Chains A and B, each alone.
Chain A
Amino acid sequence: MAEAAESPGDRETVSPRPLFAGLSDISISQDIPIEGEITIPMRSRSREFDSSTLNESVRNTIMRDLKAVGKKFMYVLYPRKSNTLLRDWDLWGPLILCVTLALMLQRGSMDGEKDGGPQFAEVFVIVWFGAVTITLNSKLLGGNISFFQSLCVLGYCILPLTLAMLICRLVLLAEPGPVNFMVRLFVVIVMFAWSIAASTAFLADSQPPNRKALAVYPVFLFYFVISWMILTFTPQ
């Protein structure tokens, strides 16, 4: 910095200027802060060591996690190219969504005859093993995303389909008929497309560019199966 204080015109002079000679001209304005701490950057999170979060109240812990989950929900609903879902991955959101979806898809198994609806365990297993399979597939195709990051993204992108399930449930309260079915079909298709768009926005960057289609196809199948389960759900 001291040497840079020389003006370019000085280059023609033969005699070297002493160090710090130009510093007398430099004045530091008051609004540039030059104080701070010299710290080794440990982690990018602002969280302190874990022992200090043990003493906070349960409400604080839960609210912090819920806020993180809610923030990620917003990212899914308005998908932009951002790294938040990948960087701060967590599996709370996928768990909440999966449990909600499985509960809503469960038929009351009162009568043993018509027991063909998906039960809780079935939906749960489909979602998690489907996500694991897609993750393995994308890793084998050469993606550079970690296992849990991919699980996190796939789980969060079920949110549109869960909303579709809620809407379908409400629509099914009305009278059944072809109009009913068309409305539900439309809603499910829109949410299905939204899920795929959201997950592609997050996952596509981690794949080699010429293999994106290979990685997206199983995601398409996965959300197709879930959408199909939602669409064909009829409460008894």
Chain B
Amino acid sequence: MATTAVPGGGTRSGAGPEWGGFEENIQGGGSAVIDMENMDDTSGSSFEDMGELHQRLREEEVDADAAAADEEDGEFLGMKGFKGQLSRQVADQMWQAGKRQASRAFSLYANIDILRPYFDVEPAQVRSRLLESMIPIKMVNFPQKIAGELYGPLMLVFTLVAILLHGMKTSDTIIREGTLMGTAIGTCFGYWLGVSSFIYFLAYLCNAQITMLQMLALLGYGLFGHCIVLFITYNIHLHALFYLFWLLVGGLSTLRMVAVLVSRTVGPTQRLLLCGTLAALHMLFLLYLHFAYHKVVEGILDTLEGPNIPPMQRVPRDIPGVLPAARLPATVLNATAKALVVSLQSH
């Protein structure tokens, strides 16, 4: 840390208009010379004196500057108290260094401008990327371009959250250890971030050329198909329709993601591993979203459980001895399993 000093004496050559400069120098650091003129006989903690000095300077900014000039004038008299002055300046350095570090850290971490380039999109671009996410491209010989933006994926995740809420409401889902909104947000964001990270890790193992941002963008846009399917099938409760859409729309968006990944991976084993995992996770997620929050017609469940129990009642009867905190996934899994059994039986 360079030893800068407070050149109080130096800037006092012109009394009136220099005082603004004096205050600037106090806070911004001045020349590299310790000014021996500004000696003062101070006692007590220099750090507190510095703090007091800064506080006083700040207050005096509002009042007349002449009063500050007179006061400062009276202090730096003569050659007394060299030690006091030195320690005061060291304390000043520490104060300023600490303040600088704190403001730098704050501006680094609280700076949302880091994310700004990823949001630099036009509506037409977003629209075209949404449509392209449903169109698998056959060309797998050289790497396909992935747009590294976060606006589209983020909006799609939020849309999925909204659609999921709608589905949970219409299916009268009862969540016991949590809230509806919390579950929806946790599911969607958990899938987007978690599966992206997992596939990125697999891509790292399989030597695929894809960055984390690109993976986030790719999976995010792949949720567009999910949004469409769920939006339609939460309102029209037909199993056959859902399976058709699951295969068609879900399949298309999965194929697109798979094609992009294949074009960026070398080697058949790696391609199979990476794309198989992604395809399985993506399709199964859509299946899960549909059945976990889907209203099942009353009569079908009755054949399984008996006539007195209302459908979709999420009381954990089947897994005893489970901790209360784990009831939610247990109940949802139960319902999913039952629903799967039901659907398999009904076909």
Contact = CB atoms under 8 A, between A and B. Distances in A.
Contacts of A114: 174
B122 A210 contact: yes
Contact of B180 (A116, A140, A141, A217): A116
A118 B181 contact: yes
Contact of A118 (B123, B172, B174, B180): B180
Contacts of B43: none
A116 B155 contact: no
Interface size class of B (residues with CB under 8 A): 20 to 34
Given A114-B174, A140-B115, A218-B155, A228 B123 contact: no
A53 interface: no
Contacts of B165: 225, 228
A213 B152 CA distance: 13
Nearest to B126: A214
Interface in A201-235: 210-211, 213-214, 217-218, 221, 224-225, 228, 232
Given A214-B151, A232-B169, A140 B179 contact: no
A180 interface: no
Nearest to B182: A122
Contacts of B115: 140
Contact of A139 (B112, B121, B122, B181): B112
B151 to A, nearest CB: 7
Contact of A141 (B119, B172, B174, B181): B119
A25 interface: no
A100 interface: no
Interface of A, helix, strand, loop or mixed by DSSP = helix
Interface in B131-180: 151, 154-155, 158-159, 162, 165-166, 169, 172-176, 179-180
Nearest to A134: B158
Contact of B172 (A116, A125, A137, A225): A116
A57 B282 CA distance: 63
Contacts of A136: 112
Contacts of A210: 122-123
A116 B180 CA distance: 7
A119 interface: yes
Interface in A102-126: 113-116, 118-119, 122, 125-126
Interface string A25-42: 000000000000000000
Interface string B82-121: 0000000000000000000000000000001001101111
Contacts of B173: 116
Given A210-B123, A217-B155, A228-B162, 5 more contacts: A116-B172, A118-B181, A137-B119, A142-B119, A218-B155
Interface of A: 113-116, 118-119, 122, 125-126, 133, 136-137, 139-142, 210-211, 213-214, 217-218, 221, 224-225, 228, 232
14 contacts: A116-B180, A118-B181, A125-B181, A126-B181, A140-B119, A141-B119, A210-B122, A214-B151, A217-B155, A218-B155, A218-B158, A225-B162, A225-B181, A228-B165
